Structure 1
Amino acid sequence: MTLKHSSIALGVVAALLGTTDAKADEFEKSAEVIVVSGSRVEQKLSDVTGSVSVVTEQTLEQEVSIDLASAFRYKTGITTQGSAGNAQAITVRGIGGNRVVYIKDGRRLNDAYEGGQGLLIGRGYLDIEGVRQIEIAKGAASSLYGSDALGGIVVISTKSPSDYLASSKAYAHLSAGYHGASDEQSISGVFAKRIGEHAASLQLTRREGSETQNYDESLPEYDYTSTAAVLKGELALGAQSSLLTTLDYYTQETEQVLAEQSNETKEVNDSLSVSVLYKSSAATALYDNLQAQAYFSDYEQRSDQIRAGADRSGPYVDTNDYRFEQQIVGTRLVLDKQLDVGAVAHQFVYGLDFDRYDTQRPRYKSRRTLQGALVKDNEAQKAFPGADTTLIGLFIQDNVTLLPDSLTVNAGLRLDSYQMDPKHDTLYASGAFEKIDETALSPKLGVVYSISDGLSLVGQYARGFKIPPHDQAYQSHGVEPFYQIIPNSDLDPEYSDSLELGLKGSFDSSQFSLGVFHSTFDDFIANQLVRTEPTFIPNVSKQVYQYQNIEEVKIKGFEANMTLWLNDQIAIDSGLTYLHGKNSQTDDYIESLSPLNGFVKARYESEQWSLTTALRAASHMDKAPSDAAIKTAGWATVDVFADYHWHNWQLNMGIFNLLDKEYVNYERVAGSAADISLSQYTMPGRYLAAKVKVTF
């Protein structure tokens, strides 16, 4: 009780403190946030027609975030699943999974396969140490980014040597952290050096932790370790051109032993990327600025399992070797050109994307009886055959200033061609898998109209599309005699049409945004029960599933955000999100919705330290897909975090779920049976997080 009362009192005192000589420049900073997700070139956030949420390096530090799941606690329209040491997934306005593109430093991150509860196994294995900014553009973005940008894009930008060095010749820092939710301990270091006109940086991070527990701390235990390394080199090729080379490596190992020699799992996720980015600002007749990038990435997941079981022939022990492997070779060309035609100013952004995916899903099983007899020896198992996927896209966007300081229009168009070829594998029946070859056209039209100084009306229409993913089109496995998933090479691509209308205000002591949106998803892909078959077990039928196109899904809602500066040191930030979405064929709610939710943050900032008290809340959720599906109660939690700067030292601390509230995020159980026990899905109780950094 002492911890609770003292922390709450501290937050109240901070909110009531008077002003000092410190200046509140937070508003000016937020007004000048620069993003690339709106046009693929740098652009002021205030000029973007769609909704974009931004998390900066400073925010990640202030809120003691350690991964994607903790980076978006206080953002509207965005929910996350997963935890440290595990797969993680981001859902944007009710759409997630492979329907959201992940871009890191200009290159596509690997996609993944469905692993239950909305998670994509293979996603979220990256380190946010060294991240400069994360942007999430909400709604369709295929006019710029092509396939998979059906529901939004996640753009992750890491720091370059110039970001560390500024005008210095050398830079270094060391940091150590602790995160109580997963008992994670971390250490990280950065070193950057200027060598003549060139520069280089190296960032290393090591993390060790355990499972993120539920409220009762009753989940099975596991341990994880991760190592991340990012090496970058900037080569100055002249006064107006440069070359940036990047080597990005990440590995994570998770071990779980529930019962020796009968239930053990060791999982390793390895990711290696190499990229070269050429930039030129030497203007020509075709462009003012040019960016050309080539990259290669290699992702592999290995899951080694020992599982005891029994069947009609008796008890046995399986040793499983399950993998997911994906290599991507990609190139990017982005150019922009400023042209003035009469009194109308045009900024053309255009270019080309090429990506080649090589995806494989090998699975092998060995089985021995308890007497040691070998029944299966590294026998291949079904899941889905690999696929070779090629994506080619041509895009152009015109950012037009029709009336200076009053009316701008963003008009974009992209043409995509894609092919997906299943790999030939004797494990699967011949003729069951066919090549998928399609094209797609994705338009976009956005408007920003300044009603008055600081007040703007924004609107946007955008189309998105998604190619049928390999794990759904070619899925072919099951557990006899209970269920079977059969392939469907006739899947059509998914399409979305998104409309958004909003009002933005930026004034001396406040800023706000209000937005309503409506998205229609055609040929939405979902797993469907297609038939049942009798089995040799009395009263037990085999269920046969297949991924099929649903005619139409509609999602609508609104978001509201407001920031108030009460004086030079006190700011209040708040946000609210409402979603409503249904399958138009069945009139059932879709599983990926979130209940009405929001947050309020009160921040006090002095010259050397700051203190923030934050409230997050969600209403009860009764928009379940069926009467037999789970519904959840509403909840509210309080977090308190602070930072202190002293010379070259920085300390960040946070107490999360301060009041030790037991609650369940609906997203973790959506679509589950109404009678399941919620205990294992509860969020962690009160915990502490801290990080200390020293800069040299």
Structure 2
Amino acid sequence: MRPSLLSVSLALCLSSTAVLAAPEGEARDFDQIVVTATRTERAISDVPNTVDVIDRARMDTLLVRDIADLFRFEPGITVGSSFGRFGLNDIRIRGLGGNRVRIQTDGIAVPDAFAIGSFSSANRNFVDLETLKRVEVVRGPTSSLYGSDALGGVVSFVTKDPSDYLGAGDTAHFGTKIGFDSANEGLFAGATAAFGGERWSGLVAVSHRQGKETENSGEAGGEGDARTQANPQSSSGRSVLGKLVFAPSEAQRFKLTVEGNEDDVETDLLSAYGFQSLTGATNTQVLGDDHQSRARITFSHEIDGLSSALADSVDWQVYRQDSRTRQDSVEMRIVPSGAATIRDRREREFYFDQRSYGVQANARKTFETGSVAHTLAYGLDVERTETKQKRDGRRIFLDSGVVTNVMLPDVFPVRDFPISDTTKASVYVQDEITFADGAFRLVPAVRVDHYRLEPEVDNIFREDNPTTQLADLSETSVSPKLGFVWTFADAWSLYGGYARGFRAPPYNDVNIGFTNFQFGYTAIPNPDLKSETSDGLELGLRYSGAAAYASLSAYYTEYDDFIESTRQVGFDPVQRLVIFQSQNIDDARIRGVEFKGGVYFDALAPALAGWSLRGAAALSRGEDRTTGEDLSSVDPLTATLGLAFEQDSWGAELAGRFVGRRDRLPTPPPAQSGAPGTPYFESPGHALLDLYAHWTFAPGTRLNAGVFNLADRKVWQAGLVPLAAETSATLDRYTAPGRNVAVSLSVDF
């Protein structure tokens, strides 16, 4: 796709919004209420950040089934994926992802991601999107309110409540939904029941999903490393959300929440069959059996209308959350041994478990000092987490029947870091200061976090690391923020500010531990690791009128002391081992411009009732300040544009997705001969069209349908393409699905 196509798309959207006056009436998009940005209920137009909100109705219209669907039309937010086995694995905001982005459900952080080697990858994709009523995303450093891991931003999932289904006078609700997605032959079914009375209300939502591998546009099938089609998969998942609410008065609510989610995926890795040049073996079978689960129980209390000098409202919650990832792998191999061969079965098991306990409390107080109004928010957050990781395995010689736990370079079982207990304790305070008759809002905030890491040595870790001295870690970090919103004219405002982010040194980097005498290397702890930090500046302009809305912002963020895991740092002449250690070495800079806007044509002319236009765009640049190289995690220019028509009983939307060429990549390493390395593949720009429609053909009954990639184009989505040589014969592995469809039917009564 030529840049001119993107320029035309942006010009259409910008021109549609910039020339409009502000008719009387309420804005229709930036009026949405968000909580994540300031921990207070505020319309988007009143917060000093770039915030995205995707509500339940929008998720249903877009037939959202996973996080890739969720952020399909949110430029600047990327969902990563890997070919072969593990699928969706990352949410990146403005080029920063992994555990550097806080992902939370009802304020509670989802478990960490951790990966090592080719057979182990625990991701953070633990939330069933059907249980959600809203998703909020705050872009940029947000540690002043959410502490460690909010280095790049926050993705906040908010689950459904009984009140979302029960209107005034309603005592019961029941709804069901079924759906199909052709991209992975996926089937979905779910049901929700809610009840309510004068004091008590409750909700139960259950769902089941199943499917196969998500197709791509690869054409090479068969077995071996030349395969570009997706590997065969079979997946299933289920979830339950239960809530019980007791309201002794209009001002108080006690809530008990129970949530569970689990997924199973079986993969036949045909692409890993055949001769393996690194090992000299021939794989005759490679299978993966992966399971992940998360369970949470929360008890919370909300109080409004307090007559106290300290607070007008208070909420608190206590919780426990357990997660487990288990991944089993089986390789059947033929290994040459002189003139003979050895038939070899290798079984591997990977476990990554986390258990968290915590308490959160928040208070808000509104008061005035002269002509200045204040909304004070403050609170505390204490969480203790136990993290366990283990790899186990066995090698079975099929001809002799001998079984051994030696599978070089490992002697199983092993832990790549010790059992780790982490404690995070923090307090924060924020004041929203409003003056000049409400035209100016100043938002200073600060949070103090104390992080403590306590490793536990067990026999598994000690046998593999007999001389490793583990390190405790205790660190305190202060994260300030200063934001502002200036409404300088009717419907126009300027917003922005400064924010600092940080990420405490992870347990797996502080106390990484493994020694391999055969290959002559060891990894040692680093008790001197510093927190990763970021300093971000943002400035934006908003227009929020009855006929149109628009936001244009620019940001600049510097990231310091990024941690590089297992960096070679020296040599032990006594044991003759090369020494590796995690260290703070990398600094990065990411800057960019983002736009979001739309037009409601019925406010311009009655004859255009029902028509609307929406668009968004993001252009970012990132570089490693240590090497001067471009950051591959930063996407090229991305934009979306949608034209919709809405009536009482039906509607449709034609939506375009536009991506520029991915031409800002780091320099490849030189070849062994010293000649320049083969350049990395620059995924070409593209334009895709999707068509959505919905029809309410009976009271409480709605049919949603979507056709994606209408022109059946072969494209590479930048966020899914690794750093691969442009001469690679398997680039088609990373292509998106061709034309595919999805439908859903929901019935509520």
2:593 aligned residue? 558
SS of 2:405 mapped into structure 1: strand
* Cα drift, residue 31 of structure 1: 3.2
* Cα drift, residue 629 of structure 1: 3.1
Query: Is 1:247–2:258 an aligned residue pair?
Result: yes
Report the Cα distance in structure 2 between the residues aligned to 1:288 and 1:213, rounded to whole angstroms: 53
2:451 aligned residue? 418
* Cα drift, residue 100 of structure 1: 0.6
* Cα drift, residue 382 of structure 1: 3.9
**Deviation readout 1:562-614 (Å, 9 max, x if unpaired):** 20123321111111111111111211112211001111111111111111011
- Contact conserved, 1:386 with 1:470, CA < 8 A, in 2? no
* Cα drift, residue 120 of structure 1: 6.7
Report the Cα distance in structure 2 between the residues aligned to 1:663 and 1:341, rounded to whole angstroms: 58
- Contact conserved, 2:110 with 2:126, CA < 8 A, in 1? no
Letter in 2 for 1:638: L
1:653 aligned residue? 705
Cα gap change, 1:385 to 1:250, in 2 (>3 Å) = same
* Cα drift, residue 385 of structure 1: 2.2
1:644 aligned residue? 695
- Contact conserved, 2:643 with 2:654, CA < 8 A, in 1? yes
* Cα drift, residue 481 of structure 1: 4.2
Cα gap change, 1:594 to 1:56, in 2 (>3 Å) = same
1:387 aligned residue? 420
Letter in 2 for 1:606: Q
**Deviation readout 1:599-640 (Å, 9 max, x if unpaired):** 111111111111101110111111111144332211111100
Q: Which runs of 5+ in 2 are unaligned?
A: 1-22, 220-228, 271-282, 603-608, 669-678
Of 475-484 and 247-256, more deviation after overlay is shown by: 475-484
* Cα drift, residue 508 of structure 1: 2.9
* Cα drift, residue 376 of structure 1: 2.1
Report the Cα distance in structure 2 between the residues aligned to 1:213 and 1:27, rounded to whole angstroms: 43
2:247 aligned residue? 236
Query: Is 1:488–2:540 an aligned residue pair?
Result: no
SS of 1:143 mapped into structure 2: helix
Q: Within 5 Å, give how 1:345-360 maps onto structure 2.
A: 345-360=373-388
2:672 aligned residue? none
SS of 1:380 mapped into structure 2: coil
Report the Cα distance in structure 2 between the residues aligned to 1:40 and 1:330, rounded to whole angstroms: 18
**Deviation readout 1:302-333 (Å, 9 max, x if unpaired):** 11221234668744212222110000101100
Pick from 271, 281, 295: which aligns with 1:272?
295
Cα gap change, 1:258 to 1:583, in 2 (>3 Å) = closer
Letter in 2 for 1:691: S
* Cα drift, residue 471 of structure 1: 2.9
Report the Cα distance in structure 2 between the residues aligned to 1:570 and 1:604, rounded to whole angstroms: 5
1:14 aligned residue? none
2:568 aligned residue? 530
**Deviation readout 1:185-227 (Å, 9 max, x if unpaired):** 0100000011442101100000011111211361110101000
State the TM-score, normalized to the length of structure 2.
0.85
* Cα drift, residue 428 of structure 1: 2.5
Cα gap change, 1:311 to 1:482, in 2 (>3 Å) = farther
Cα gap change, 1:375 to 1:136, in 2 (>3 Å) = same
Q: Percent identity?
A: 28
SS of 1:661 mapped into structure 2: coil
Cα gap change, 1:610 to 1:116, in 2 (>3 Å) = farther
Pick from 442, 445, 470: which aligns with 1:409?
442
Q: Which runs of 5+ in 1 are unaligned?
A: 1-23, 535-541
SS of 1:144 mapped into structure 2: helix
Letter in 2 for 1:683: A
* Cα drift, residue 229 of structure 1: 0.3
Q: Within 5 Å, give how 1:269-418 maps onto structure 2.
A: 269-283=292-306, 284-309=308-333, 314-371=342-399, 372-376=401-405, 379-418=412-451
- Contact conserved, 2:174 with 2:191, CA < 8 A, in 1? yes
2:19 aligned residue? none
Cα gap change, 1:510 to 1:640, in 2 (>3 Å) = same
Pick from 179, 191, 194: which aligns with 1:192?
194
Letter in 2 for 1:140: P
Q: Within 5 Å, give how 1:56-67 maps onto structure 2.
A: 56-67=55-66
Report the Cα distance in structure 2 between the residues aligned to 1:209 and 1:484, rounded to whole angstroms: 42
SS of 1:162 mapped into structure 2: helix
Cα gap change, 1:35 to 1:478, in 2 (>3 Å) = farther
Query: Is 1:549–2:587 an aligned residue pair?
Result: no
* Cα drift, residue 52 of structure 1: 0.7
Letter in 2 for 1:446: G
Pick from 204, 207, 218: which aligns with 2:206?
204
- Contact conserved, 1:87 with 1:125, CA < 8 A, in 2? no
Letter in 1 for 2:361: L
Of 391-400 and 125-134, more deviation after overlay is shown by: 125-134
**Deviation readout 1:94-114 (Å, 9 max, x if unpaired):** 111000111111212111213
- Contact conserved, 1:261 with 1:306, CA < 8 A, in 2? no
* Cα drift, residue 258 of structure 1: 4.7
- Contact conserved, 1:281 with 1:289, CA < 8 A, in 2? yes
SS of 1:147 mapped into structure 2: coil
Q: Within 5 Å, give how 1:596-635 maps onto structure 2.
A: 596-627=637-668, 628-635=679-686
Q: Within 5 Å, give how 1:50-61 maps onto structure 2.
A: 50-61=49-60
Report the Cα distance in structure 2 between the residues aligned to 1:40 and 1:156, rounded to whole angstroms: 14
* Cα drift, residue 485 of structure 1: 5.7
Report the Cα distance in structure 2 between the residues aligned to 1:271 and 1:143, rounded to whole angstroms: 27
Report the Cα distance in structure 2 between the residues aligned to 1:98 and 1:382, rounded to whole angstroms: 20
Report the Cα distance in structure 2 between the residues aligned to 1:462 and 1:191, rounded to whole angstroms: 42
SS of 1:181 mapped into structure 2: coil
* Cα drift, residue 455 of structure 1: 0.5
* Cα drift, residue 27 of structure 1: 6.8
Give the CA RMSD over aligned residues.
2.6
Report the Cα distance in structure 1 between the residues aligned to 2:727 and 2:469, rounded to whole angstroms: 38
- Contact conserved, 2:343 with 2:398, CA < 8 A, in 1? yes
* Cα drift, residue 482 of structure 1: 9.9
What is the total number of aligned residue pairs between the two structures? 666
Cα gap change, 1:485 to 1:589, in 2 (>3 Å) = farther
Q: Within 5 Å, give how 1:679-694 maps onto structure 2.
A: 679-694=732-747
**Deviation readout 1:321-357 (Å, 9 max, x if unpaired):** 2110000101100000001111100000000000111
Letter in 1 for 2:429: I
Query: Is 1:572–2:613 an aligned residue pair?
Result: yes
1:68 aligned residue? 67
Letter in 2 for 1:571: S
Report the Cα distance in structure 1 between the residues aligned to 2:336 and 2:146, rounded to whole angstroms: 52
SS of 1:219 mapped into structure 2: coil
SS of 2:129 mapped into structure 1: coil
SS of 2:535 mapped into structure 1: strand
Letter in 2 for 1:383: D
1:141 aligned residue? 142
Q: Within 5 Å, give how 1:451-490 maps onto structure 2.
A: 451-477=488-514, 481=519, 487-490=525-528
Pick from 687, 710, 719: which aligns with 1:667?
719
- Contact conserved, 2:433 with 2:442, CA < 8 A, in 1? yes
- Contact conserved, 1:68 with 1:88, CA < 8 A, in 2? no
**Deviation readout 1:226-271 (Å, 9 max, x if unpaired):** 0000010001133321101100000111112458994222111111
Of 567-576 and 606-615, more deviation after overlay is shown by: 567-576
Pick from 469, 472, 475: which aligns with 1:438?
475
1:32 aligned residue? 31
State the TM-score, normalized to the length of structure 1.
0.91
* Cα drift, residue 545 of structure 1: 5.5
SS of 1:46 mapped into structure 2: helix
2:5 aligned residue? none
Of 214-223 and 447-456, more deviation after overlay is shown by: 214-223
Report the Cα distance in structure 1 between the residues aligned to 2:26 and 2:505, rounded to whole angstroms: 43
SS of 1:165 mapped into structure 2: coil
SS of 2:684 mapped into structure 1: coil
Pick from 225, 233, 239: which aligns with 1:222?
233
Letter in 2 for 1:270: S
Report the Cα distance in structure 1 between the residues aligned to 2:391 and 2:580, rounded to whole angstroms: 21
**Deviation readout 1:441-483 (Å, 9 max, x if unpaired):** 0000001111200000112100000012223333335887498
Report the Cα distance in structure 2 between the residues aligned to 1:206 and 1:221, rounded to whole angstroms: 21
Report the Cα distance in structure 1 between the residues aligned to 2:234 and 2:570, rounded to whole angstroms: 41
- Contact conserved, 1:592 with 1:670, CA < 8 A, in 2? no
Letter in 1 for 2:90: A
